[in-house]
């Protein structure tokens, strides 16, 4: 394409490319020697190059003809540039500092001023080889040149035509390449689709100029005068902010319409970026204006309060609350609610009652540990040592805690478990919770739920009056100061309910790992994450716990202790604790294991160890009095002075009757405080078959008695009973201790045995205790609390125990030491009981 000769070397119809925001521009204060750069301040450079100094360089002033691209030589010196692609019709200044580039410019000036401008593939390369340069570039005309004092050159070049390198003929002292000019094809009349593309490119260019805040009248007049698609594409591309790869792709495109399409794609991207940039700037300005307005109004409010004499320390308090909320680490939505309340507080009178409520609320919000977490002690061996030091036995509980720690170590984001320890009093459920917290390295908080009836104790009170407070869960979190403490909910089986609400229903959300990550307290009225808390519940029995609540917990049963276990626990833990509490040194109290066993066996009869601790405490107090009176230790407990110190034994093994009369059988019962021995007495008298039940029996035991009578009548011939006894005899069933309520599904076996004993006038073995339920078909049904019942049998001196065959699996929980002291028989049918039970 031929170029018309103009008076000025700077074509009035050309668009000069401005430097981009950090993509292709290189300001003077960060120039790197040895490369060709695009200049930053184009008008100043052009003025310097075309002024008197520039004119003197070229001798004849400003009349520099523009050559025809068809006259371009086949071989030209190469100027390597970085971070810019030069297009046709583009006029721009370049800083030339590398030695090869300076010599290439000098060679071009010594000839016809043509130079081939190629872009580097990697701008970090200081001495590019032919492989480091793109093979398609632009033949430029050097219009002006100015030498700098440091030896560098400033040149003004204009792009004339695309060219493709065939080969490099020389690389020293500068690059020389053989090239083939790429001529623009003749422009054909535009089709409607092509005209639409041209207009779209102009409109997008105008929109970009508008978004950039640039006056577009002069530039758009130039673009509107250009109708050839190729030339329009080059003019727009030379002023677009593009990456080198995208610009080089457009330069290498020969077909004009395809080139304009590529430019149009870049225009659309640039419009989107510019629109988003304007939006961000508008938002930032709006936020800045609002902040300035708020600051101004706040200062006015402070001045007004100072005039009214209401200022005081209120402004400092508000600032302290604002800083506390900002530093609390609460979630974004919670922070929004807190600052909303703070704004309300700032507009209220300091002495108003509502201001007091809001101030207290904000203090709670600041004090809660929204992000603070205790670091778990994930050393499994160390945790196991701590659990073993604090508690004897309880292997299942310890194993479950170590499993939790192991999973926590492998998956730090796991949710806290909900454990429920069920067992009689005094077996160490609460102290076990403290040991778990110590082994984890977490804070511990115990919360007693016994007798709690108000739902607000869990969910908190609404902020409608002075004195409203959060629930006890949130209070515990605040006291612990971390978001992942161990919280023990003690006596969960003793929750109540009345017109004020049902606390057990409120606990459903607290004890559900799938819900408690967004627990909402009525007082806070914002969600708080409880998923990191480890909840441990304790209960003596499960019957009173609602099913939905128990379904959320993992139940771990802690049965009572055997005599040997009690002796070991007393020696390891109770005696050292009681000697310390009573002012004695450990070596001042001397008591043998044999005497400890005697205390356990003759002075206590329980599943736990509370009475054992009381008796040991009594011994320590007796010795402490001797020490206080001046006696010197050590104080030795012997078999002779034990009775003097504690009194006569309360429980003796010979309480067991040597011979039971006919109609009496020994049963085993489970109670919340452990296993118990239950004597069932049956007597017969002349009558008409009336059945009398006494002893304050519950409905379940009454039904068991009816079933036992039916079985005896149905199997009268098997047991040698008079078939007409139901017509001639009245039967009276009595369970002693009539003032104590008794009920449960485990007395059926004992009832049928006592009934058969009375009807056959045959005594039952006094060394035998039994448990189990019966069905009318004669099956023996399984029951619970096997370990506690066997413990009770051993403590009463029994030698044999009958249990249902389906409870055989529970024998795995019975210690070997306990099984050696008693014979355990399993029965599956009622007919198997009498041969084992009757006295031989």
The bridge status of strand 664-671 relative to strand 674-686 is antiparallel
Catalytic residue among 100, 787, 789, 795: 789
Distance separating alpha carbons of residues 684 and 690, to the nearest angstrom: 10
What are 155's strand-pairing partners? Answer: 94, 145
Distance separating alpha carbons of residues 539 and 495, to the nearest angstrom: 10
**DSSP annotation string for 152-169:** -EEEEEEEEEEEEEEEEE
Catalytic residue among 101, 374, 531, 746: 746
What are 779's strand-pairing partners? Answer: 829
Tell me the H-state helices in 309-415.
314-327, 332-346, 353-367, 380-390, 395-410
Distance separating alpha carbons of residues 229 and 209, to the nearest angstrom: 20
Burial 757-775 (b: 16+ CB within 10 A, else e): bbbbebbbbbbbbbbbbbe
For residues 834 and 774, the answer to whether their CB atoms sit within 8 Å is no
> What's the sign of the alpha-carbon dihedral 196, 197, 199, 200?
positive
Tell me the H-state helices in 687-747.
699-714, 716-719, 725-728
> Residue 78's closest CA among 181, 165, 180, 182?
165
Tokens at 792, concatenated: 């009770």
> Residue 461's closest CA among 416, 402, 496, 501?
501
For residues 587 and 630, the answer to whether their CB atoms sit within 8 Å is no
Burial 261-273 (b: 16+ CB within 10 A, else e): bbbbebbeebbee
Q: Return the C-alpha torsion angle 226, 230, 236, 237, nearest 10.
A: -160
Distance separating alpha carbons of residues 62 and 7, to the nearest angstrom: 7
- Residue 67: Cβ within 10 Å count: 18
Q: What is the DSSP letter of 108?
A: H
Tokens at 488, concatenated: 């023990």
In three-state secondary structure terms, 587 is helix
Q: Is 2 a catalytic residue?
A: no
Tokens at 48, concatenated: 């310097």
> Residue 778's closest CA among 708, 720, 826, 731?
708
Phi-psi region of 173 (alpha: psi -120 to 50; beta: other; left: phi over 0): alpha
**DSSP annotation string for 742-811:** B--TT-HHHHHHHHHHHHHT-PBPTTEEE--EE-TTSBEEP-S-HHHHHHHHHHTT--EEEEEGGGGGGG
For residues 197 and 260, the answer to whether their CB atoms sit within 8 Å is yes
Angle made by CA atoms 433, 437, 443, in degrees to the nearest 5? 120
For residues 827 and 778, the answer to whether their CB atoms sit within 8 Å is no
C-alpha 813: how far from its chain's center?
Answer: 36
What are the C-alpha distances in Å from 394 to residues 162, 398, 458, 732?
87, 6, 31, 44
Question: What is the H or E stretch that residue 578 is in?
Answer: helix 575-581
Q: Is 302 a catalytic residue?
A: no
**DSSP annotation string for 496-544:** --BTTB-HHHHHHHHT-TTTGGGEE-TTT-SEE--TT-EEEEEES-STT
Positions annotated as catalytic residues are 746, 789
């Amino acid at each position: 394409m031929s170029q018309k000769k103009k008076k000025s070397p700077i074509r009035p119809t050309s668009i000069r490319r401005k430097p981009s925001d950090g993509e292709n521009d290189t300001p003077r204060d960060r120039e790197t020697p040895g490369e060709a750069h695009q200049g930053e301040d184009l008008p100043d450079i052009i003025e310097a190059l075309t002024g008197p100094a520039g004119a003197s360089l070229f001798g004849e002033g400003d009349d520099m003809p523009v050559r025809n691209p068809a006259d371009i030589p086949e071989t030209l010196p190469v100027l390597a540039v970085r971070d810019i692609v030069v297009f046709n019709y583009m006029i721009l200044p370049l800083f030339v500092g590398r030695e090869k580039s300076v010599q290439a410019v000098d060679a071009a000036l010594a000839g016809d001023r043509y130079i081939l401008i190629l872009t580097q593939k990697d701008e970090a390369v200081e001495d590019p080889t032919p492989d480091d340069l793109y093979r398609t570039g632009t033949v430029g005309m050097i219009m002006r040149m100015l030498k700098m004092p440091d030896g560098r050159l400033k040149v003004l070049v204009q792009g004339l035509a695309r060219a493709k390198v065939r080969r490099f003929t020389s690389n020293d002292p500068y690059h020389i390449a053989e090239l083939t000019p790429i001529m623009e094809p003749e422009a054909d009349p535009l089709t409607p689709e092509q005209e639409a593309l041209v207009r779209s490119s102009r409109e997008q260019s105008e929109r970009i100029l508008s978004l950039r805040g640039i006056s577009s009248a002069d530039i758009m007049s130039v673009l509107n005068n250009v109708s050839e698609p190729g030339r329009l594409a080059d003019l727009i591309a030379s002023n677009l902010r593009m990456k080198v790869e995208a610009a080089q792709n457009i330069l290498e495109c020969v077909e004009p319409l395809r080139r304009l399409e590529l430019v149009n794609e870049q225009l659309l991207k640039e419009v989107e970026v510019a629109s988003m940039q304007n939006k961000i700037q508008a938002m930032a300005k709006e936020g800045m204006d609002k902040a300035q307005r708020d600051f101004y109004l706040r200062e006015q409010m402070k001045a007004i309060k100072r005039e009214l004499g209401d200022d005081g320390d209120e402004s400092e308090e508000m600032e302290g609350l604002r800083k506390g909320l900002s530093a609390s680490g609460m979630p974004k939505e919670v922070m929004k609610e807190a600052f909303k309340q703070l704004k309300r507080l700032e507009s209220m009178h300091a002495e108003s009652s509502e201001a007091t409520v809001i101030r207290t609320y904000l203090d709670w919000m600041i004090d809660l540990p929204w992000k603070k977490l205790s670091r778990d002690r994930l050393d499994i061996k160390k945790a196991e040592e701590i659990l073993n030091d604090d508690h004897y036995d309880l292997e299942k509980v310890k194993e479950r805690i170590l499993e939790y720690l192991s999973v926590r170590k492998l998956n730090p984001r796991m949710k806290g478990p909900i454990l429920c320890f069920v067992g009689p009093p005094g077996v160490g459920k609460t102290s076990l919770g403290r040991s778990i917290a110590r082994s984890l390295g977490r804070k511990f908080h115990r919360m007693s739920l016994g007798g709690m009836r108000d739902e607000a104790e869990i969910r908190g009170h609404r902020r409608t009056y002075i004195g409203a407070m959060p629930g006890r869960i949130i209070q515990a979190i605040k006291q612990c100061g971390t978001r992942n403490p161990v919280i023990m909910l003690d006596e969960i089986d003793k929750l109540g309910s009345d017109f004020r609400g049902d606390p057990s229903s409120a606990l459903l959300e607290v004890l559900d790992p799938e819900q408690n990550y967004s627990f909402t307290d009525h007082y806070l009225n914002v969600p708080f994450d409880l998923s990191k808390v480890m909840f441990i519940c304790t209960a003596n029995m499960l019957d009173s716990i609602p099913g939905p609540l128990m379904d959320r917990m993992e139940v771990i049963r802690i049965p009572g202790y055997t005599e040997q276990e009690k002796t070991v626990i007393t020696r390891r833990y109770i005696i050292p604790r009681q000697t310390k509490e009573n002012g004695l040194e450990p070596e001042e109290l001397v008591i043998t294991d044999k005497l400890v066993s005697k205390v356990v066996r003759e002075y206590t009869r329980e599943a736990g160890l509370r009475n054992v601790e009381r008796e040991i405490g009594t011994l320590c107090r007796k010795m402490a009095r001797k020490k206080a009176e001046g006696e010197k230790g050590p104080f030795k407990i012997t078999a002779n002075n034990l009775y003097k110190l504690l009194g006569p034994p309360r429980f003796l093994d010979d309480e067991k009757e040597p011979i039971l009369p006919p109609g009496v059988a020994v049963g085993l019962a489970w109670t919340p405080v452990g296993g118990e021995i239950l004597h069932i007495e049956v007597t017969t008298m002349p009558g008409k078959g009336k059945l009398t039940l006494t002893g304050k029996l519950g409905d379940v035991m009454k039904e068991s008695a009816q079933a036992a009578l039916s079985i005896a009548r149905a199997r009268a011939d098997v047991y040698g009973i008079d078939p007409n006894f139901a017509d001639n005899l009245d039967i009276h069933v009595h369970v002693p201790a009539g003032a104590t309520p008794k009920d449960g599904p485990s007395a059926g076996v004992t009832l049928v045995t006592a009934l058969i004993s009375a009807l056959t006038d045959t005594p039952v073995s006094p060394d035998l205790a039994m448990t189990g339920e019966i069905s009318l078909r004669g099956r023996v049904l399984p029951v619970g609390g096997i370990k506690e019942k066997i413990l009770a049998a051993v403590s009463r001196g029994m030698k044999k125990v009958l249990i249902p065959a389906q409870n055989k699996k529970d024998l795995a929980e019975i210690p070997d030491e306990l099984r050696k002291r008693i014979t355990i028989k399993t029965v599956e049918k009622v007919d198997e009981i009498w041969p084992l039970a009757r006295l031989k």
